[in-house]
Structure 1
Amino acid sequence: MIFKNRKEEYIFLFKKGLKDLDIAQILGVSESFVAKARNKYFKSGDSVCKKNSFSSDLAEESTTKVSFNEDNFNNLVLLATKKACELENAKNEAERLFYEIVCSFIDSHHRCKNLSLAAIKKEVLILDLKISKLQSEISANKKRGLKSQESLERELADRIKKREEIEKKLITICMREDFDTLVKLKSVLSSKNLKLE
C-alpha cells in the first residue's frame, strides 16, 4: 500500500477504527500528534473518525461482546496495518537516501569535470585575450591609416582557428565524460530496480 503523504496515512488508520495510541505506535509519533491530526483532517461530527467513538468506556460497555475469532481478526488487521506503514516508511526513507547519493554523485562528477577541464578553459581564456588585443590593434591601425597589417590579420586568423579547435576539443571531452557518467549511473539504478527518466 502506497501513501502519497502523511495525511493519507492518518485517514487510512482513522477509518480502520484504531485508537490514537495505536496509531501513534504505528506511525512512530506521539499521541498528541495523532489527536491534532484527527482535529485537523476531520469534522467534529464525523462519527467514523471521532476519538470518543473508539475510546469511550460507555460505548464499549454497550457494544455486543465479540467472539474470540473476531478479536483475532482485528488483531491481525492492526498488525498488518502497522507492518504496512512501517514497510512504506522504510521504503520511502531508503529511496530518499539512495537519490541523495545519486545527486551527490552527479554533483561530484560536475566538480571533477570542471577541475579536469580547468587547464583547457584557461587556454581558451588566454586566446580570447590575445584575439581581443589583436582585433583592437588592427582597428587602431586602420584608424591611423596604416595599410600593412597582413601579419597581424594572419596571426588573428590563426588564433581564431586555434580557439575553434580547442572549443571542439572541450565539447568532445564534456560529451564523453557525461556519457560515461550516465552509463555508470544507469547501471547503478538498474541494480536497484530503479529508472533514470
Structure 2
Amino acid sequence: MQKLFNKSVLILLCAVMVLSACLTGCKSNVPNFPVPLSDTTRSAFELSTKGYKDTELEKIYQFMLDDDIDAKKLHEKYEIQCLRKEDDGYSVRYVGNTKLLVLRFDDKGNWEKTDRLHSLYRVTETRGKFDALKEGDDVAKVQTADPTCYFPFLADSSSAYLRTDHYTQDGYHTIILYDNSFHITSVTSELM
C-alpha cells in the first residue's frame, strides 16, 4: 500500500512540475496586435497591397494624435499590413509615394507617441549608398549619402537621440548610431 501511495504522489508531483513549467516557461511572445508579425523575408513594399499617397500618411499620423489610439483601432481604420518586432517593441509601417510612416508600439499594442519627424521618413535611393560608411566616419558623410534625412541631434543640441534611420527604395532600413562627437559607432541594415 505504501508503494502505491508513493507512486501516486510521485506521478502527481511530476504532473504539477510539467504543468508549472508550461505555465511559466512556455509563455507566448505573440504581441497584443490584431494581426500576426509580418514575413521577415519580404520588405514593407512587398507586404503592402494598398499604396498610400504621402498626404494620406500625414492623415494616418494625425489620426493617431486625435484620440487614444491603440493597434486594434488603427487596424480597424487603416489595415496593418506590415508589423515588425523591434528591440523594444513593435513597429507598423505604411508605404507612401516617397515616404514611409513608422508607428512604434509597446508589447500591449499601445502607441509610443513620437514627434512627426521620428515617425515619417523620406524613402531614399538604395542601401548601396550606405555601403561606404564605416565606424569613425563623420556625420557629414552620412548627410552626403542621404541629404533628406532628419538628424535630430544636429537640429537640437540637447537631443540625446544619437541615431538616424534611413529607409531605401530597395526595401532596407539602415540604422546609424553616433557618439557625442557625431562620429559613426555602428551601421546596420535590415529588411524594411
State the TM bucket, normalised to the shorter chain: under 0.3
TM-score normalised according to structure 2 size? 0.26
- Select the structure that is richer in helix: 1
TM-score normalised according to structure 1 size? 0.25
**Which has the larger Rg?**
1
- Select the structure that is richer in strand: 2
